[in-house]
Amino acid sequence: MKFKSLIFFLIAFVGIANTSSVAKQITKSGVIEIFSETPMFTIEATNKKVASILNPTTGDIVVSTLVRSFKFKEALVEEHFNENYMESAKFPKAIFKGKIINNKDIDYAKDGSTNIILEGKLTIHGTTKLIKEKGSITIKGGKISAKSEFDVSLAAYGIKVEKAYKKAIKDAIHLKIHFNFSPYAKK
């Protein structure tokens, strides 16, 4: 009887250890690129100061960035982006809080890539919307990276485009997101 109890305990312990063996992951240098193109105008910017925390055990993920961290090739475009459209003094951050819906499909202990579905609340310009988007998680040599691409509607987040620029700026801005995570260590 004791032997069966010991076997059960070991199996349960190994199962628990296997699911919790991957520490929470963090990055403070994630990248978000934004892109929009019309015949009249191209908007391109990169933000390399995006923070994110991923909990591989639960699939919970939080992403946060300062809107002013987006860098444009032209200073005037960057100024208009921050002052006229994003109103970054009033709405300084963009935040996503959500979950990897199919987290159980990811083997964080094994190299490989898994297509994922993210669902959660995206807050931009003071407006929060529930979103569901596709992405991927890649594990290589124990390192975790994540990617996603999707479009965000300016109108859905209350971002108004001046009448003079309505034809020059698309309502949908394309986002490319890339994170390289490291294990989170409390200090």
Q: Which residues contact 156 (CB under 8 A, 6 or more apart)?
A: 127, 129
| List of residues 6+ apart from 98 with CB closer than 8 A | 60, 61, 118, 119, 120, 121, 131
Which domain range does residue 139 map to?
A: 20-183
Tell me the C-alpha distance between 11 and 3, whole Å: 12
- Give the global pTM: 0.85
Q: Element (H or E) spanning 173, and its range?
A: strand 172-180
Which CATH number is 67's domain given? 2.40.128.110
- Residue 3's H or E segment, with its range, is helix 2-20
Residue 126 lies in a domain: yes
> 14 lies in a domain?
no
Q: Is residue 12 part of a domain?
A: no
**How many structural domains is the chain composed of?**
1
pLDDT (tens digit, 0 to 9) for every residue of the chain, 187 residues total? 555 554 555 454 444 444 446 899 999 999 999 999 888 888 899 999 999 999 999 999 999 999 999 999 999 989 989 998 999 999 999 999 999 999 999 999 999 999 999 999 999 999 999 999 999 999 999 999 999 999 999 999 999 888 777 777 888 999 999 999 999 887 6
